[in-house]
Chains A and B, each alone.
Chain A
Amino acid sequence: MTTTSYAHRATAVAARAQDLSKVYGQGETQVVALNRVTVDFRQGEFTAIMGPSGSGKSTLMHCVAGLDSFTSGSVRIGDTELSTLKDKQLTQLRRDKIGFIFQAFNLLPTLTAMENITLPMDIAGRKADKEWVERVIDMIGLSGRLSHRPAQLSGGQQQRVAVARALASRPEIIFGDEPTGNLDSRSGAEVLGFLRNSVRELGQTVVMVTHDPVAASYADRVIFLADGSIVDEMLSPTADGVLDRMKAFDAKGRTS
């Protein structure tokens, strides 16, 4: 792993995958989704995972986030090894240490924006840290719409609620699965801006899967996956740089 210019900000590792493999099926029909992947996600870093369809980028995120099981290797969130955890413990880990942002927003339509934001704390039976939640809401810019229900909010606003929900419980790491996939470019840019700000200003760790080079350019680091392996990495990415790199993989993929 190359030392980066951000090393001084992020010494500790928030999540780490080591020799992580995920195999579907057996024998002839065997499909290797992840092939001995080793990667660190450092605290206070915004990482984007990119790759063509079927490269295993979503699978990698799901395994690291404790949403999916894996065949071999190890995944750690902080000091916790995931491979030995039962469903109940995994659920608790996700609840207490991980935040999620989904492509389809996935807010509960019966709850108000505010209730959606505090839902993870409600589930955990914890009192929300009021000051922190207020700070997050201020940053997201939703103060006027907290009593609205999701159906009364635009897509961009809904995703901002989702970002606030992920931030509100101060998780050790936030995973985003194509968080801008359902948004127009302006709303997408806003949401990505918030994610970057949360890293810069709040010291949050964010890992995001995307196929959009522009979205990836908001990250501190981009890792590229192809055929279940990490094939490249880019620091301080730009949209054009990422696009070029992707094109190169595509060409390679076609010739090989």
Chain B
Amino acid sequence: MFRTALRNVLAHKARLLMTVLAVMLGVAFVSGTLVFTDTLSNAFRNQSAKSYDKVAVAVTLVTNPDDPKSVPGLSQQALTKIGQLDGVEKATGRVSGFAGVPDKDGKLIGAGWSNKGTNFSPGKDGKDPAYDFAKGSGPVRADQIALDQETADKGGYKTGDTVRVATNGPVKEYTLSGVFTTEDGAVNAGGSLVLFDTPVAQKLYLKAGYFQEISVAAAKGADADKLLGQVKPLVPEEADARTGQELADEQAQMIEEGLGTLKQVLLGFAGIALFVGVFLISNTFTMLVAQRTKELALMRAVGASRRQITRSVLAEAGVVGLVASAVGFGLGVALAVALRSGMSAFGMKIPGGPLVLTATPVIAALAVGVLITMFAAWLPGRRAAKIPPVAAMSSVHAVATTKSLVLRNSIGGVLTALGAAAIVMGAGAGGESGRMTIGAGAFLTLVGVIVLIPLLSRPVIALVRPLLTGPFGVAGKLAGQNAVRNPRRTGATASALAIGLTLVTGLSVLGATVGTALDKTTTDQIRADYMVTMASGEGLDKTALTALEKAPGVSAVSPQQAGYLELKGDFASASGVTPGAIEKVINLDVRSGSLASLAEGKIAVADKTAEKKGWKVGDSLPVKFSDDKTGKLTVGAIVKDSEFVSPVLIDAKILDAHDVRPYIPQIFVKMESGESAANEKALITSLGDNPAITFLDKKDIKDTFGGAINMMLNIMYGLLAMALLIAVLGVVNTLAMSVFERQQEIGMLRAIGLDRRRVKRMVRLEAVVISLFGAVVGIGLGAFLGWAIGQTFKNSLPGYALVLPWDTIGICLLLAGLVGVLAAMWPARSAAKLNMLSAIKTE
């Protein structure tokens, strides 16, 4: 039987082409993901091992500089003592934090989070082994710095030049003493690294004479564990001292975990692509079996059992799956390589390393490809086994029965109804549990709709038939009828497309809804013209606030200074603001009391919090500040909850009195003459042209939220592209099958006078009808899901309202139509080129 299966595969090479392609793409996605993540994790692991290569023991001490009671850091004395230990070759102290450098236009080089500054720590030979100097040497004076090669190139800095460096305080000027190369993570991530003289770095980032980290290089033959034992007593108890090996292992594990998430996401999308492929494969095998009815019946007649027939179909699928998976695996490896170089091209520096090919991706690729193909061929195989032996004798081809559609439709109807009910329920419930219910409902509905789709195809396509017959005449009429001739096949083809488009539409509805709500929040709540932040994500210096208050043209300035208060025994996050200015920069809807009371040292509380705690205007609440001092605060106003400030508002000066280092994530500025380039320039100048400070106007604020959403959506669309591509292959496949099966008909139509152009048009329109049908189902379902999930965010998103992204929906429909036209290109051509005589000739 296996030989028969093999022969069959070889005999139907062309008709199996699309199946092979679909399996191949799915397998390529899976194996590409596995190989890529393996390679990446290996490269990162090697890099981290290399960076800890010379580190025998490392000590880190994370301190809170705001807490006067805590240990300030690892002292110089400790460092010296460690350096004098037996078996220690060198002990290096490090202290680091944010440092940004402007390019020629005054803009920050790097993304903010990847701009790092640290101390240059030369040994006796005057060299720091972590940095290789290409030009000049390390900074040894307070006014000197060194830069990494790429940053120096981007900024056009040469040794001896003056460089403006922004840290968390005002910008300072330094002289460039040298340019170096390094394996430092910040630089590898596309950021920048500034080296300071050690005392400068200590003052900038911690405290004179203290380090955050000490790394110990062992002399030859010294045991790391023994060293660790010797180092531990020399450092404060709070410090974390570990061997380099431990740290390397820990980092490797973190990398593994990080990549594990990436791997799961990618595999999830690969799963969707493969799922879509199932429909295509199933269609192909259904057709192959239908065409071989006589042959299979003959096998039954000469004594093959039902099981043997099913097995022969499955064996055929297995062979196809194996071949496709093998090719797909090769493609996956190529994909992994391309992905790595693609990421490098986008500025993400990935440490070099060999391509890692383990057994897992090979086995996974083959297993996934073969099993998926066989699974998809299982139903057609069972159907093949049901062909009665007598069919071999009858001259008429067995016509596909429609009786089992009754059962199918009932099951589909029940599933869809249950799923839809769950979705509506979930939408009503809201929150996390609501989303879980919706997820389950979405799955049921999707399965239900896929089961129901053959039934849906007739009435839905019948609706559009007048549109086809009108402008396209007889070709349109025939196309409309052909599209519903084999409802199962049309259904499966449309399903494949619908799945991808359900996800795309669902995501874009959600994205548009959330994006619009956020936009509205911004517009409603922000009265300021500018929001000032640090690019590093750290806090702004208090001097920035004073400078902005004095800047020309400014009408109101208030910080949003983050603080924590213990109010009546519970921690509450508070925003330190400037009384009198805050209501001019943020739209605070006062429910009761007055914001003027802030100036009297009273607090304003958000309505939701006040309601929960039962606080009213005039209540006096016991408070404990961050320095453990206690007192009483009176509620002066209840305001509407806002996205831009914490639930408790207080005069920033009160927080200042208790915080050693006030943390100001944002400052809001209102100008007398609104937003303008000149005003922005004036503000930038007032802060000393600091490249590390970002000025966001209202549009920028919207973009920070919206931009993140859009980027995520685009990535997901990109990942769904594979599923859509396979769906398109499915349309090609179906059309090719249809044309092949209807050769005789097409020949007759040509004979009685249908010209080639209209034969092509007929095939094309059929493809367009099927694609659009799938698109409409998918978009409908996607919009429904998007609405439902959006509903669950209703409570947490002020200004929530369902937004249907008509442009995206329009593009989807247009693309679906285009997909139809493109998918029909080859089948339509072969239909038009059909040899009339052989087509109308009878067997």
Contact = CB atoms under 8 A, between A and B. Distances in A.
Contacts of B836: 67
Interface stretch (A1-9, A100-108, A130-138, A241-249): A100-108
Interface string B719-757: 000000000000000000000000011011111111110
Contact of B399 (A96, A111, A151): A151
Interface stretch (A10-18, A49-57, A120-128, A230-238): A120-128
12 contacts: A65-B751, A67-B751, A67-B837, A87-B755, A91-B756, A100-B751, A108-B748, A110-B481, A111-B481, A122-B477, A123-B752, A182-B842
B478 A110 contact: yes
Given A88-B755, A91-B750, A92-B755, A110 B485 contact: yes
A78 interface: no
A43 to B, nearest CB: 21
A62 B756 contact: no
B840 interface: yes
A122 B469 CA distance: 11
B478, B748, B756, B837, most chain A CB atoms within 10 A: B748
Nearest to B474: A122
Given A67-B836, A68-B837, A181-B842, A106 B756 contact: no
B754 A123 contact: yes
Contacts of A36: none
Interface in A49-86: 62, 65, 67-68
B209 interface: no
Nearest to A91: B755
Interface string A112-153: 000000011011110000000000000000000000000100
B352 interface: no
Interface in A193-208: none
Contacts of A91: 750, 753-756
B753 A96 contact: yes
A67 to B, nearest CB: 6
Contact of B753 (A94, A151, A181): A94
B807 to A, nearest CB: 37
A68, A87, A99, A102, most chain B CB atoms within 10 A: A102
Interface string B813-843: 0000000000000000000000011001010
A43 B756 CA distance: 30
Interface string B388-431: 00000000000100000000000000000000000000000000
A96 B752 CA distance: 9
Interface of A: 62, 65, 67-68, 87-88, 91-92, 94-96, 99-100, 102-104, 106, 108-111, 119-120, 122-125, 151, 165, 177, 181-182
A8 B800 CA distance: 90
B47 interface: no
A94 B748 CA distance: 11
A102 B748 contact: yes
Contact of A119 (B482, B752, B758, B840): B752
B688 to A, nearest CB: 78
Q: How large is the interface on B (under 10, 10 to 19, 20 to 34, 35 or more residues)?
A: 20 to 34
Given A108-B745, A110-B482, A94 B752 contact: yes
A146 B21 CA distance: 45
A119 B474 contact: yes
B473 interface: yes
Nearest to A87: B756
Contacts of A68: 837
Contacts of A99: 752
Interface in B298-342: none
Contacts of B755: 87-88, 91-92
Contacts of A110: 478, 481-482, 485
A135 B750 CA distance: 27
A122 B473 contact: yes
A106 B481 contact: no
A102 B843 CA distance: 13
A184 to B, nearest CB: 13
Contacts of B754: 91, 95, 123
B482 A106 contact: no
Contacts of B745: 106, 108-109
A210 B799 CA distance: 80
A111 B478 CA distance: 8
Nearest to B748: A106
A125 B755 CA distance: 13
Contact of A100 (B481, B485, B752): B752
A1 B799 CA distance: 94
B473 A125 contact: yes
Contacts of A88: 755-756
A110 B762 CA distance: 14
A169 to B, nearest CB: 9
